[in-house]
Amino acid sequence: FLLSTKLENKKKGKLQKQICQVVLDHFEKQYATELGGTWTSVRDVLTYPLCWQYAVLLNKFSQSAELENTLRVKGYHPAFQGSLPYLPASFKCYIRRSPGRFPAQRHQAGKLKEYYLLNAASVLPVLALEVKDGEDVLDLCAAPGGKSVAILQCAYPGQFHCNEYDDLRSRWLKQTIESFIPDPLINLITLSRLDGRQIGDLKPELYDKVLVDAPCSNDRSWLFSSDLQKATLRLVQRKELTSLQFQLLRSAIKALRPGGSLVYSTCTLSKAENSDVINLILSSCSNVMPVDITEMAKAVSQEFTFLRGMQQHELLVLPEKGRAWGPMYIAKLKKM
């Protein structure tokens, strides 16, 4: 027992050392104001990776009943149950209350992976998008590809356009798609490296559904920045992200067909990158309206903790011990 306690403390010490104080101080100032008393418990989860929850998204193209049995034996249960407004039977995602990570699978050429490990909150934007068979879909900022894979677990789009501007992330996206999607279907997926801000002008009114999982200040990874100079620069450049996010959303609206819908998501708690960006879009674009997603929130409230006081078209998943983790902001809009 003493030895395991020592090892645990050593592990804790290692994790504590990795926390970037500059980033934590910045977050303390901002989030104590924005989240009030909730910030203390959120901070405890964000700064302690040993309590993070990893979900297991099953790949319907490489199904294994054995895998589902193994997950159940290890204490996993389906994350999403029947009462959701949109939950295709083919979509299977498992989580468990206790923290930990199921073993990852390596990329093997010619062999499909059976599952994708991810933050369970990151599939909520996909479920909010409600993709149906035959619809033309754009994933505007698609790398590393988890949400693209999740979309394909739900439905077979007519056209599926996965875009990623960054070269390194684009290669990562390509590998993810190759690891999860079989040959006949892979041919229906278009991978591109376009500037997301220009897609609306290049492909106007071409899509029924658009996902904008925007570049944002990634609270979890930023807290563990090992390069102090880089972390400080990130915090300085943080203010510029809202302009990029706004431009990406405007481009996405142009790319949407009238009647089509759009989901915007980030993995930050920052109000400036979340509600403020959406409010600016709603006040400056007369052809979009908010879509109520409170039914989805109610249906998953057993697994996720949401920030109170949000508007009906938006959700913010707060990290909490023993719950499916975040942060994840989701907002849904419809084009008139």
Q: What are the backbone angles phi and psi of residue 161, rounded to the nearest 5°? A: -105, 115
| DSSP 3-state of 60 | helix
Task: Catalogue the active-site residues.
Answer: 267
For the chain, give the longest Cα–Cα distance.
64
Residue 127: partners with Cβ closer than 8 Å, 6 or more residues away: 80, 84, 86, 87, 91, 154, 296
For residue 327, cis peptide bond before it (omega within 30 degrees of 0): yes
| Helical axes 241-255 vs 275-284, angle rounded to 10° | 50
**Alpha-carbon distances, residue 22 vs 122, 239, 267 (angstroms):** 27, 16, 20
145 is in an annotated binding site: yes
As a whole number of angstroms, the distance between CA 152 and CA 262 comes to 17
The answer to whether 183 is annotated as binding is no
Residue 75, annotated ligand binder?
no
Beta pairing class for 256-266 and 314-318? unpaired
Confirm or deny that 164 is annotated as ligand binding. yes
3-state class (DSSP) for residue 255? helix
Give the closest residue to 281 by CA, choosing from 185, 190, 206, 212.
212
Secondary structure class of 149 (helix, strand, coil): helix
Is residue 147 annotated as involved in ligand binding?
Answer: yes
Helices (H) and strands (E) in the chain, counts: 14, 13
213 annotated to a ligand binding site: yes
Taking alpha carbons only, the member of 271, 237, 273, 254 closest to residue 203 is 254
- How big is the chain, counted in residues? 336
Asked if 170 and 191 count as a contact pair (C-beta separation under 8 A), the reply is yes
Q: Which residue positions form the known binding site?
A: 141-147, 164, 195, 213
Q: Which residue positions form the known binding site for S-adenosyl-L-methionine?
A: 141-147, 164, 195, 213
